[in-house]
């Protein structure tokens, strides 16, 4: 369960388990997780709080080690953080004392000046913040700061972007706008994205596939393909049916 086509697999998780030691007792957070993500695929991890979504993301990113099982990316074992894999967090992750330009430049210091400047300009333009290059991120709205965080992640040309509820701190309107922005950037750049959320609407709007996780210990309860073209008609019967299916898998009664 949870497999993409094997011959184009990018991320492969096999038999993954994670146990945290708490005051001498073992807390099982993840149990027997198997998942394959294709190159260029947009996958949402959906599940209740505490089900291990963020822990799974951290293991794939190399920030946590599994208790059992393995993760490979492009066939190579994940043994630690790697600049080809970048995180976008809920708390923006931008430096408030730095400008938009300098925030995006952080991962590009190894590049020649002209190439670095051209790349920063490209992503400032992509996220629609022309004219704000010298503005401190502390002076930006929440949505604009999150755009900067996304641009900084994209600017380093990562193989995989790992997003941990990156829109959770935003108001509902800004959140909807940022979903559209992330989709636009993904369609243009076609990077591989693994996106953690507990929002059913968010997962149906964004994902190629939604991976539904069970309550702790986190297991993959179901994988739901979202076979709808972008942009998705949020009021369509097909969209409503997918939402209903996901709520049922989460054991939530909800009127769509």
What pLDDT digit, counting tens, does each position of 68-110 carry?
Answer: 999 999 999 999 999 889 998 876 578 889 999 999 998 898 9
Q: Are the C-beta atoms of 16 and 59 separated by less than 8 Å?
A: yes
According to the model, what pLDDT value does residue 7 have? 54
Fold entry, domain 6-84+159-249: Rossmann fold (3.40.50)
Q: Is the pTM of this model over 0.85?
A: yes
User: 67: Cβ–Cβ under 8 A, 6 or more apart, which residues?
Assistant: 17, 18, 19
How does residue 172 score in pLDDT terms, banded at 50, 70 and 90?
confident
Task: Inform me whether the pLDDT recorded for 256 exceeds 80.
Answer: no
CB atoms within 10 A of CB 227: 9
User: 182: Cβ–Cβ under 8 A, 6 or more apart, which residues?
Assistant: 150, 163, 166, 193, 206
- The boundaries of every CATH 3.40.50.300 domain in the chain are 6-84+159-249
According to the model, what pLDDT value does residue 253 have? 42
Average pLDDT of the residues in 136-144? 88
Rounded CA-CA distance 28/25 in Å is 10
Q: What is the CA radius of gyration of the chain?
A: 18
Q: Are the C-beta atoms of 127 and 146 separated by less than 8 Å?
A: no
According to the model, what pLDDT value does residue 92 have? 58
Task: Inform me whether the pLDDT recorded for 189 exceeds 50.
Answer: yes
Q: Is 16 helix (H, G, I), strand (E, B) or coil?
A: strand
Instruction: Give bridge partners of residue 37 from the DSSP assignment.
Output: 11
């Amino acid at each position: 369960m949870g497999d993409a086509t094997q011959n184009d697999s990018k991320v492969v998780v096999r038999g993954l388990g994670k146990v945290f030691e708490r005051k001498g007792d073992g807390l099982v957070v993840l149990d027997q997780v198997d998942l394959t993500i294709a190159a260029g695929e947009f996958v949402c991890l959906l599940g209740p709080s505490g089900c291990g979504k963020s822990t799974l993301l951290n293991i794939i990113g190399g920030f946590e080690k599994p208790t059992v099982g393995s993760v490979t990316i492009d066939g190579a074992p994940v043994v630690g953080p790697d600049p080809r894999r970048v995180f976008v967090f809920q708390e923006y992750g931008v430096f408030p004392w730095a400008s938009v330009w300098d925030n995006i430049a952080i991962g590009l210091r190894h590049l020649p000046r002209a190439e670095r400047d051209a790349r920063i300009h490209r992503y400032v333009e992509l996220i629609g913040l022309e004219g704000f290059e010298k503005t401190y991120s502390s002076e930006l709205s929440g949505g604009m700061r999150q755009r900067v965080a996304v641009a900084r992640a994209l600017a380093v040309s990562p193989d995989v972007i790992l997003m941990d509820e990156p829109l959770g701190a935003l108001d509902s309107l800004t959140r909807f706008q940022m979903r559209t922005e992330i989709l636009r950037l993904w369609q243009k750049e076609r990077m591989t994205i693994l996106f953690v959320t507990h929002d059913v609407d968010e997962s149906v709007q964004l994902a190629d596939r939604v991976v539904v996780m069970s309550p702790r210990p986190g297991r993959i309860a179901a994988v739901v393909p979202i076979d709808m073209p972008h942009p998705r008609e949020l009021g369509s019967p097909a969209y409503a049916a997918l939402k209903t299916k996901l709520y049922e898998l989460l054991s939530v009664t909800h009127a769509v």
